[in-house]
Amino acid sequence: MTSPLVVAIDGPSGSGKSSTSRGVADRLGLAYLDTGAMYRAMTWALLQRGVDLDDPAAVASAADAVRLESGTDPLAPTIHADGTDVAEPIRTDEVTGAVSLVAAVPHVRELLVDLQRRAIGEAPGGIVVEGRDIGSVVVPDAPVKIYLVADPAARAARRAAENGGADAAATEAALAVRDQIDSTRAASPLVQAHGAVVVDGTHLTLDEVIDTIVGIVDAAS
């Protein structure tokens, strides 16, 4: 591989993309970009402005003015919207419940895909990028594409534990709603990209998933 390495990791909500991508980037000395955090930060900024998120035209026109900045250190990733550190507020139920609406608006996707491609271009040493459309739309020629999955019950149990023992059944239902919207929207739906290797982390520890993906990267190099 001569050009900078790009590892594209896509998959449904809670399949382990962020934890795995950070671990892979750290192990391989690569940068890391969390594109879900960008959609969340856009959602936070639009909510701050009082934009009606059920109105795609209003979302599209307000999105142009939002300034997003992503820090790509896998050990300390950052996300700012309009100069504010939004790492915590983008994880609230309000943002989580609304982000799929914003991510379905084509103009928002154009803006963020453009930012994502710029971030990738600014990582000359290579980068791990995670999201829903990285291997299919953002970097379709990425030399390594992973589609990371895990059973819905495992994803919900992990996410519920992370949220201090939240109700697993309610968490699984919320994940299913988000997956349904993300995979059926018209604009860049969640799909297994052409050429992506499926990694199923249901019965693997986080370290085992990272080892598996590092092995796939090594084999492709």
Ligand X SMILES: Nc1ccn([C@H]2C[C@H](O)[C@@H](COP(=O)(O)O)O2)c(=O)n1
Distances (CA, A) of 207 to 12, 19, 26, 35, 203: 19, 10, 12, 22, 12
The answer on whether 165 is annotated among ligand-binding residues is no
**Residues 10-49, interacting with ligand ATP (CB under 6 A):** 11, 13-19, 36
158 binds ligand ATP (CB under 6 A): yes
Distance CA 31, CA 74 (A): 6
Strands 31-34 and 197-200 come out as unpaired
2 binds ligand ATP (CB under 6 A): no
Q: Which does 99 bind (CB under 5 to 8 A by kind): ligand ATP, ligand X, none?
A: ligand X
201 binds ligand X (CB under 6 A): no
107 binds ligand ATP (CB under 6 A): no
209 binds ligand ATP (CB under 6 A): yes
DSSP per-residue string spanning 10-62: E-STTSSHHHHHHHHHHHHT-EEEEHHHHHHHHHHHHHHTT--TT-HHHHHHH
Residue 105 contacts residue 56 (beta carbons within 8 Å): yes
Distance CA 194, CA 191 (A): 9
At its nearest, how many Å lie between ligand X and the CB of residue 218?
25
Distances (CA, A) of 87 to 6, 69, 76, 213, 219: 24, 11, 11, 26, 34
Residue 112 contacts residue 42 (beta carbons within 8 Å): yes
Binding mask 169-188 for ligand ATP (x = CB under 6 A): --------------------
Considering only 94, 141, 162, 218, the residue that binds ligand ATP (CB under 6 A) is 162
Considering only 23, 131, 152, 201, the residue that binds ligand X (CB under 6 A) is 131
The answer on whether 13 is annotated among ligand-binding residues is yes
72 binds ligand X (CB under 6 A): no
The answer on whether 4 is annotated among ligand-binding residues is no
The answer on whether 12 is annotated among ligand-binding residues is yes
Binding site for ligand X (CB under 6 A): 13, 35-37, 39-40, 99-100, 103, 131-133, 178, 182
Binding residues for ATP: 11-19
